[in-house]
């Protein structure tokens, strides 16, 4: 795959600073396990409950390093591409998201963190080709009545970060079967972490 220029690291750093101040004023944030994110090294974060407009801002506000957020559908429908690029985000253009894949890979190969917040960006090739660890993230209460609505002001948002896991990749990342096997491993890791996070939170569903 031909790599693109990585997204703006400075933009992601500024977005983290702004998000941290704004989100902590507007919401009650419960953060669990954020130390697993670390401060250096490649990382692919895959979020459950992150389909909302503010998912990227919530991630930025709760970790100590810049994160390049792969835009979900709500972000793509609401934020302009110029805004996303200035914030160090990665826009997604369906159906194949080729440019997004290239940008995400360039970021991971530069030892940065990338976060996938929606379902329109398959992570199988990215993980298989880079060997980067994957981290499950569960957000509870991070979505409003519809994904393009923010959560209710002053509501409680819980974010749970799991320990990163390096997946065993047995074959060529270009093979569909290899990518599908990696996707299935990630799906199970993320589902198990979401179930455990809900149990720990005492809440009934990801919507809060």
pLDDT of residue 207: 77
Residue 59 lies in a domain: yes
Using the structure block, give the residue that is written with the tokens 């979505």: 143
DSSP secondary structure code for residue 41 in this structure? S
Spatial separation of the C-alpha atoms in residues 208 and 190, rounded to whole Å: 18
CATH number for the domain that contains residue 134: 3.40.1130.10
> How many domains in the chain?
1
pLDDT of residue 170: 80
Residue 4 lies in a domain: no
pLDDT of residue 71: 93
Residue 177 lies in a domain: yes
- Please determine, for residue 208, whether its predicted confidence score (pLDDT) is greater than 90: no
pLDDT of residue 59: 94
Residue 2 lies in a domain: no
Counting every residue written for the chain, the total comes to: 208
Dump pLDDT digits (tens) for 105-155: 999 999 999 999 988 789 999 999 999 999 999 999 999 888 889 999 999
pLDDT of residue 205: 83
Judged on CB neighbours under 10 Å (0-12, 13-18, 19+), 9 is middle
Residue 65 lies in a domain: yes
Spatial separation of the C-alpha atoms in residues 151 and 55, rounded to whole Å: 10
- Please determine, for residue 173, whether its predicted confidence score (pLDDT) is greater than 60: yes
Residue 82 lies in a domain: yes
pLDDT of residue 118: 82
Confidence of residue 2 (pLDDT cuts 50, 70, 90): low
Torsion, Cα of 171, 172, 177, 180 (10° steps)? 90
pLDDT of residue 1: 58
- Domain containing residue 69: 9-201
Residue 1 lies in a domain: no
Structure-token pair, residue 38: 């670390």
Query: Per-residue pLDDT averaged across 168-186, rounded?
Result: 91
Dump pLDDT digits (tens) for 49-101: 999 999 999 999 999 999 999 999 999 999 988 999 999 999 998 777 889 99
Residue 208 lies in a domain: no
DSSP secondary structure code for residue 165 in this structure? B
pLDDT of residue 99: 92
């Amino acid at each position: 795959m031909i790599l693109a220029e990585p997204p703006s690291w400075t933009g992601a750093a500024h977005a983290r600073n702004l998000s941290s101040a704004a989100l902590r004023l507007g919401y009650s944030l419960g953060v669990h396990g954020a130390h697993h994110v670390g401060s250096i090294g490649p990382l692919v974060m895959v979020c459950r409950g992150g389909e909302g407009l503010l998912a990227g801002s919530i991630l930025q506000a709760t970790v100590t390093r810049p994160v390049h957020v792969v835009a979900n559908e709500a972000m793509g429908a609401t934020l302009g591409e110029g805004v996303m690029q200035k914030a160090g985000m990665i826009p997604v253009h369906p159906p194949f998201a080729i440019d997004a894949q290239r940008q995400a890979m360039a970021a991971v190969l530069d030892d940065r963190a990338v976060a996938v917040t929606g379902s329109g960006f398959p992570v199988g090739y990215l993980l298989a080709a880079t060997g980067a660890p994957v981290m499950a993230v569960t957000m509870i209460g991070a979505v409003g009545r519809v994904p393009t609505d923010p959560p209710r002001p002053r509501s409680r948002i819980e974010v749970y970060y799991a320990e990163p896991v390096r997946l065993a990749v047995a074959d060529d990342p270009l093979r569909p079967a290899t990518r599908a096997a990696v996707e299935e491993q990630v799906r199970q890791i993320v589902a198990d972490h979401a179930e455990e996070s809900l149990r720990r939170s005492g809440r009934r569903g990801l919507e809060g």
